[in-house]
Amino acid sequence: MKNKFGFAGILALVIFQIGCTQQPSTDLSETAFIPKPVSIDVTGNSFELKESSVIYYEESVEGLQTVAEYLALEIKRTSGVNLKVESTNATPKKGVYFTVVNEDSKLDTEGYELNIGKKLIAIKAKTVAGCFYGVQTLLQIIPEKLHAEDPIEFATGIIRDFPEFGYRGAMLDVSRHFFNVEEVKQFIDFLAMYKMNILHLHLSDDQGWRIEIKSWPKLTEIGGSTEVGGGTGGFYTQEQYTELVKYAQERQITIIPEIDMPGHTNAALASYAELNCDGKARELYTGTEVGFSTFCTDKEITYQFIDDVIRELAALTPGPYIHIGGDESHVTAHDDYVYFVNRVQPIVLKYGKKVIGWDEIANAELVDDATVQFWADVENTTTGVEKGARVIMSPAARAYLDMQYDSTTHLGLHWAGYIEVDHGYTWNPATLVPGVTKENIIGVEAPLWSETVTNMDEVEFLVFPRLPGYAEIGWTAPEKRDWNEYKMRLAKHGKRFEDLGINFYKSKRVPWEE
Residues 236-275 touching ligand TNX, rule: CB under 6 A, are none
Quick one: how far is CA 238 from the chain centroid?
A: 22
Which residue stretches of 140-231 are H helix?
Answer: 181-193, 218-221
What is the closest distance, in whole angstroms, from the C-beta atom of residue 227 to ligand TNX in the complex? 13
404 and 411 Cβ atoms separated by less than 8 Å: yes
Residue 377 CB neighbour total at 10 angstroms: 17
* Residue 449 sits in the site that holds ligand TNX (CB under 6 A): yes
As a whole number of angstroms, the distance between CA 7 and CA 281 comes to 87
The one among 153, 164, 328, 420 contacting ligand TNX by CB under 6 A: 328
Q: Name the β-bridge partners of 240.
A: none
Among 110, 327, 420, 445, binds ligand TNX (CB under 6 A): 327
Which of 120, 146, 181, 290 contacts ligand TNX by CB under 6 A?
A: 290
Smallest gap from residue 403 Cβ to ligand TNX (A): 7
| In the complex, least distance from residue 220 CB atom to ligand TNX, rounded to whole angstroms | 20
Under rule CB under 6 A, residue 378 binds ligand TNX: no
Q: Which of 327/445 has CB closer to ligand TNX?
A: 327
CA 407 to each of CA 89, 415, 452, 473, 512: distance values in angstroms, whole numbers, following the listed order? 58, 12, 15, 25, 21
Taking the CA atoms of residue 187, residue 370, residue 343 and residue 323 in that order, the dihedral angle to the nearest 10 degrees is: 0
Task: Find out whether 66 and 131 touch, Cβ atoms under 8 Å.
Answer: no
Q: Write out the catalytic residue numbers.
A: 328
State the minimum distance, in angstroms, from the CB of residue 107 to ligand TNX.
36
Kindly state whether residue 400 participates in binding ligand TNX, applying the rule CB under 6 A. yes
425 binds ligand TNX (CB under 6 A): no
206 part of the interface to ligand TNX, by CB under 6 A: no
Is the CB of 144 or the CB of 402 nearer to ligand TNX? 402
Is 445 one of the binding residues for ligand TNX (CB under 6 A)? Answer: no
Q: How many residues bind ligand TNX (CB under 6 A)?
A: 10
Quick one: 153 or 328, whose CB is closer to ligand TNX?
A: 328
Rounded to whole angstroms, what are the CA distances from 150 to 15, 119, 143, 144?
A: 21, 18, 10, 12
397 binds ligand TNX (CB under 6 A): no
Distance CA 199, CA 9 (A): 57
Percentages of the chain per state (helix, strand, coil), in multiples of 5: 35, 20, 45
- Hey, how many other C-beta atoms are within 10 angstroms of the C-beta on 235? 24
When asked if residue 285 is in the footprint of ligand TNX (CB under 6 A), the reply is no
> From the CB of 170, what's the least distance to ligand TNX, in Å?
14
Task: Write out the residues near ligand TNX by the rule CB under 6 A.
Answer: 290, 327-328, 358, 375, 400, 402, 413, 449, 451
